[in-house]
C-alpha cells in the first residue's frame, strides 16, 4: 500500500469534482422557498371548497380539464424522465420528505451537541412542533385558500373539513419529522421501488469503482450516509438516494493521501462521468430513448402552454337558435333567435356587453346589456336579433354578433347568417 501511495503522490491529481453536499443543501433551500411560494402566489394550488385550480397566476375552474390534464401529465413525465435519466436525483435534491427529514436530523444533532441533557429533547420537540405548524399550513394551502385557512387556524376550527384536515396534517407532519423521517423512503414511499423498474443500464447512479485498490477502509462513506448503507456493497441498493455525500467523504479522505476518491456518479454500472463527451451526452442524453422522452416532455409543455393561452376567465359562447328559422314581429321587423352561454370563472364580478355588426338597423332584444355576472356564475340567455327588411336583403345575410367582458379580454366574435323571409318561405 505504501508503494502506490508514494507513486500517486508524485502524479498531480485532477481537479476535484464539485462538493455535492453544500450544493444539495443550497438546492434544498431553493426548493423549500418554492414550496412555500407556490400556493401563496397562486402559481400552483387548488381551492377545493371553490372548485378552482390556480396555475401560473391564472384562475381556472377544475372543470377546465385540458389545463389540469396537461399540467399533471407534464409533471408525471418530468418525474419519470428524471428517474430514467438521473436516477434518484429527485429524492436527494427535491423531495420535501428528504429535505425536512435531513433538517430534522441536523436539528437533533445540533441540540444534542449544544444543549444540556435535560433541555435537548424539549427544545428539539418544541422547534419541531412550530415547524410542523408552518409546513402543514403551507401544504394545506395547496388545497384550501391561504386566507381561508388562516382564519380557520385563528379560530382553532376543528369542526369543518378544512380545519380537521389542517390539524391532522400538522399532527402527521410532527410524527413524521420526530420519528419516521428517512425510514419513510425505504418503507412507505413507492418512488424507490419505481426507480428499480424504470432505470436502465445508462441511468445515473452512485458507484464504488476501485480498480487500483485505493480504498483504505476508513468507513467515512458509511458514517456520513444518512440512509445508513455501505455503497461498497453495490450501486443498486434500494436505500441509496444518490445524494453524493459518500462521494464527498471519500474525496476528503483519499485526497489527503494523494489519491482521487473511489466513489463517483456514473452513467450506469461500470460507466464513468465522461467530462470530455459532447454536452448532450454529458447531461444524460445518451440514446434515442432519452431523446424521445425529452420530446414527449416538450410536447406536453407545448400543449399546456397552448391550453393556457386559450384560457379565458370569462367564457362566452354565442350560437344561432334554429328551433325557428325566423319570426315576423308585429311591427314588421324580422327576428332570429340567438342563444348565449356565459360563465365567469374568475374571482371578480364582471359584465358582458353584446353588440351586432354587419346588419343595417339590427337590434338585440336583451333585457340587460351589459349583463352582470357574479364570480363563479354561469347563465344561459336566449334573445332576438331583429331587423327591418332593407332593400337588397337576401334570404341569408352574413352578420357578426360580438361579446366582450369587462375583464378586458378581446371580444368573442360569432359569425352567422341572418335569415330573412322571401316569397314562399315559412318560419
Ligand atoms: S450510499 Fe452515498 S449516495 Fe447513496 S444514500 Fe448513502 S451517502 Fe447518499
Ligand atoms: S470513504 Fe472511500 S476510502 Fe473510506 S471506506 Fe469509503 S470508499 Fe473506502
Choose from 58-72, 215-229, 265-279, 355-369 the range with maximum mean pLDDT.
215-229
Measured distance CA(228)–CA(244) in Å, rounded: 13
Q: What pLDDT sits at residue 195? A: 85
Atom 2 of ligand 2 has which residue's CA nearest to it?
Answer: 250
225 lines ligand 1 (CB under 6 A): yes
Task: Tell me how far the alpha carbon of residue 229 lies from the centroid of ligand 1, in angstroms.
Answer: 7
Task: Tell me how far the alpha carbon of residue 85 lies from the centroid of ligand 2, in angstroms.
Answer: 26
Query: Has residue 4 got a pLDDT over 50?
Result: no
pLDDT in tens, 344-388: 877 789 999 999 999 888 999 988 899 999 987 888 999 999 999
pLDDT in tens, 371-383: 999 987 888 999 9
List the grid coordinates of 240: 441509496
Which atom, in ligand 1's list, is nearest to the CA of 245?
Answer: 7
Supply the DSSP string of 373-388, one letter for each residue.
Answer: E-TT-EEEEEEEEEE-
Measured distance CA(86)–CA(59) in Å, rounded: 34
233 lines ligand 2 (CB under 6 A): no
Q: What is the torsional sign of CA 188, 97, 227, 205? A: positive
Provide, rounded to the nearest whole percent, the portion of the chain with pLDDT above 90: 55
Task: Tell me how far the alpha carbon of residue 260 lies from the centroid of ligand 2, in angstroms.
Answer: 11
246 lines ligand 1 (CB under 6 A): yes
CA 66 to chain centre: 15
Helix (H, G, I), strand (E, B) or coil at 408: coil
Omega prior to 370 cis, within 30 of 0: yes
Which ligand lies nearest to the CA atom of residue 243 in the structure?
1
Q: What pLDDT sits at residue 3? A: 44
Which ligand lies nearest to the CA atom of residue 221 in the structure?
2
254 lines ligand 2 (CB under 6 A): yes
What is the value of pTM for the model shown?
0.74
231 lines ligand 1 (CB under 6 A): yes
Atom 6 of ligand 2 has which residue's CA nearest to it?
Answer: 221
Amino acid at each position: 500500500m505504501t508503494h502506490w501511495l508514494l507513486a500517486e503522490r508524485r502524479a498531480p491529481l485532477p481537479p476535484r469534482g464539485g462538493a455535492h453536499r453544500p450544493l444539495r443543501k443550497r438546492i434544498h433551500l431553493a426548493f423549500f422557498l418554492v414550496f412555500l411560494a407556490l400556493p401563496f402566489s397562486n402559481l400552483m394550488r387548488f381551492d377545493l371548497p371553490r372548485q378552482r385550480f390556480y396555475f401560473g397566476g391564472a384562475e381556472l375552474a377544475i372543470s377546465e380539464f385540458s389545463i389540469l390534464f396537461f399540467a399533471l401529465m407534464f409533471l408525471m413525465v418530468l418525474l419519470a424522465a428524471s428517474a430514467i435519466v438521473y436516477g434518484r436525483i429527485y429524492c436527494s435534491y427535491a423531495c420535501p420528505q428528504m429535505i425536512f427529514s435531513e433538517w430534522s436530523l441536523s436539528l437533533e444533532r445540533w441540540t444534542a451537541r449544544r444543549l444540556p441533557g435535560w433541555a435537548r429533547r424539549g427544545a428539539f420537540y418544541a422547534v419541531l412542533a412550530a415547524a410542523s405548524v408552518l409546513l402543514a399550513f403551507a401544504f394545506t394551502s395547496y388545497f384550501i385558500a391561504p386566507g381561508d385557512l388562516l382564519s380557520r387556524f385563528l379560530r382553532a376550527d376543528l369542526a369543518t373539513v378544512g380545519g380537521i384536515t389542517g390539524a391532522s396534517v400538522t399532527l402527521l407532519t410532527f410524527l413524521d419529522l420526530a420519528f419516521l423521517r428517512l425510514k419513510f423512503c425505504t418503507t412507505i414511499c413507492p418512488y424507490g421501488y419505481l426507480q428499480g423498474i424504470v432505470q436502465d443500464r445508462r441511468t445515473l447512479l452512485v458507484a464504488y469503482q476501485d480498480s487500483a485498490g485505493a480504498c483504505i477502509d476508513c468507513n467515512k462513506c458509511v458514517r456520513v450516509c444518512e440512509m445508513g448503507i455501505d455503497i461498497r456493497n453495490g450501486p443498486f441498493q434500494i436505500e441509496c438516494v444518490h445524494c453524493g455525500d459518500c462521494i464527498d467523504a471519500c474525496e476528503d479522505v483519499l485526497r489527503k493521501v494523494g489519491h482521487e476518491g473511489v466513489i463517483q456518479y456514473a452513467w450506469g454500472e461500470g460507466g464513468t462521468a465522461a467530462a470530455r463527451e459532447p454536452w448532450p451526452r454529458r447531461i444524460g442524453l445518451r440514446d434515442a430513448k432519452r431523446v424521445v422522452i425529452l420530446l414527449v416532455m416538450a410536447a406536453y409543455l407545448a400543449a399546456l402552454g397552448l391550453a393556457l393561452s386559450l384560457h379565458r376567465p370569462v367564457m362566452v359562447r354565442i350560437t344561432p337558435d334554429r328551433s325557428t328559422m325566423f319570426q315576423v314581429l308585429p311591427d314588421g321587423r324580422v327576428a332570429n333567435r340567438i342563444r348565449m352561454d356565459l360563465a365567469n370563472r374568475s374571482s371578480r364580478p364582471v359584465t358582458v356587453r353584446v353588440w351586432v355588426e354587419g346588419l343595417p338597423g339590427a337590434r338585440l332584444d336583451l333585457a340587460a346589456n351589459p349583463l352582470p355576472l357574479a364570480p363563479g356564475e354561469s347563465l344561459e340567455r336566449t334573445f332576438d336579433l331583429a331587423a327591418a327588411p332593407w332593400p337588397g336583403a337576401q334570404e341569408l345575410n352574413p352578420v357578426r354578433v360580438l361579446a366582450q367582458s369587462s375583464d378586458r379580454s378581446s371580444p368573442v366574435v360569432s359569425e352567422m347568417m341572418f335569415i330573412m323571409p322571401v316569397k314562399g318561405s315559412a318560419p
